Amino acid sequence: MATILAISGSLRAKSFNTMLLHAAVAATPAGTTIEVGSIKGIPLYDGDVEAASGLPPAVVALKDRVVAAEGVLLVSPEYNNGIPGVFKNTIDWLSRPATDIARVFGDRPFGVIGATPGRGGTAMAQAGWLPVLRTLGALHYSSGRLQVAGAGKVFDANGALVDDTVRGLLETYMRGFSEFVSKHRRGR
Ligand SMILES: Cc1cc2nc3c(=O)[nH]c(=O)nc-3n(C[C@H](O)[C@H](O)[C@H](O)COP(=O)(O)O)c2cc1C
């Protein structure tokens, strides 16, 4: 049905967003292939580095994986009511050079979900992604929403999803997003 690349925006070993990513993999409907990408190893964006030697290998590798996928799922934490810098930095690298934006992002389906131990469910960070995705010409999936609050109780100490309500919402989201990716995959 579709191929999705899911990326967690946290580097933490015990990241709730990485836990949510793995739960999303388990909740992905049959027929959809979901792969896991990472922001690990992506350096801070530096225009001088880009001018001198082009994109770092880790950026090229992740960019290739985005291009190979039919849809991308961003699993985003929220920092100070916005997008964490480390995650935005990755997307900023992927948007270079600007002449490549249409190939990497243009009309490619993107979904955004997130988890926080707080009460807001990453709503502000998810809203923060909207102008970024719009600027890059990506197709944002807006028919479904998943904002996981109180993550400390939603996942157990081993990172397993233990909240059946969230599991149901996640399954609904992944079903809807998979259909969206399938419907809007490029070249169709
Ligand atoms: C710099 C910083 C700012 C934060 N700001 C928010 C915030 O605005 N809203 C929120 O819900 N949580 C906030 N948090 C708490 C994060 O949601 C929490 O650390 C979460 O576990 C991060 O995601 P992760 O578990 O995937 O690493 C903040 C954490 C940090 C480190």
pLDDT digits (tens, 9 = 90+) for 95-134: 999 999 999 999 999 999 999 999 999 999 999 999 999 9
Helices (H) and strands (E) in the chain, counts: 8, 6
Cα distance between residue 15 and residue 52, in whole Å: 34
User: How much of the chain is helix, strand and coil, in % rounded to 5?
Assistant: 45, 20, 35
Torsion, CA 31, CA 14, CA 89, CA 178, rounded to 10 = 10
Indicate if ligand 1 lies below 6 Å from the C-beta of 125.
no
Cβ atoms < 10 Å from Cβ of 63: 18
Q: What is the CATH number of the domain that holds 22?
A: 3.40.50.360
Q: What is the pLDDT of residues 151-178, one digit of tens each?
A: 999 999 999 999 999 999 999 999 999 9
How much distance in Å is there from the Cα of 80 to the middle of ligand 1? 7
What is the model's pLDDT at position 51?
98
Of all protein residues, whose CA lies closest to atom 16 belonging to ligand 1? 116
How much distance in Å is there from the Cα of 69 to the middle of ligand 1? 28
Cα distance between residue 49 and residue 84, in whole Å: 22
Indicate if ligand 1 lies below 6 Å from the C-beta of 80.
yes
Atom of ligand 1 nearest to the CA of 11: 27
The total domain count for the chain is 1
Torsion, CA 151, CA 146, CA 42, CA 104, rounded to 10 = 170
Nearest to 37 by CA among 10, 60, 65: 65
Of all protein residues, whose CA lies closest to atom 4 belonging to ligand 1? 79
Indicate if ligand 1 lies below 6 Å from the C-beta of 70.
no
Of all protein residues, whose CA lies closest to atom 2 belonging to ligand 1? 79
Cross-strand pairs, 144: none
Q: What is the pLDDT of residues 48-90, one digit of tens each?
A: 999 999 999 999 999 999 999 999 999 999 999 999 999 999 9
Q: Give the length of the chain.
A: 188
Cα distance between residue 182 and residue 33, in whole Å: 11
Indicate if ligand 1 lies below 6 Å from the C-beta of 159.
no
Cross-strand pairs, 73: 6, 111
Atom of ligand 1 nearest to the CA of 122: 11
Of all protein residues, whose CA lies closest to atom 1 belonging to ligand 1? 79
Segment holding 124, helix H or strand E? helix 123-136
Q: Is the pLDDT of residue 188 over 60?
A: no
Indicate if ligand 1 lies below 6 Å from the C-beta of 12.
yes
**Full residue range of the structural domain in which residue 144 is found:** 2-184
Cα distance between residue 57 and residue 74, in whole Å: 21
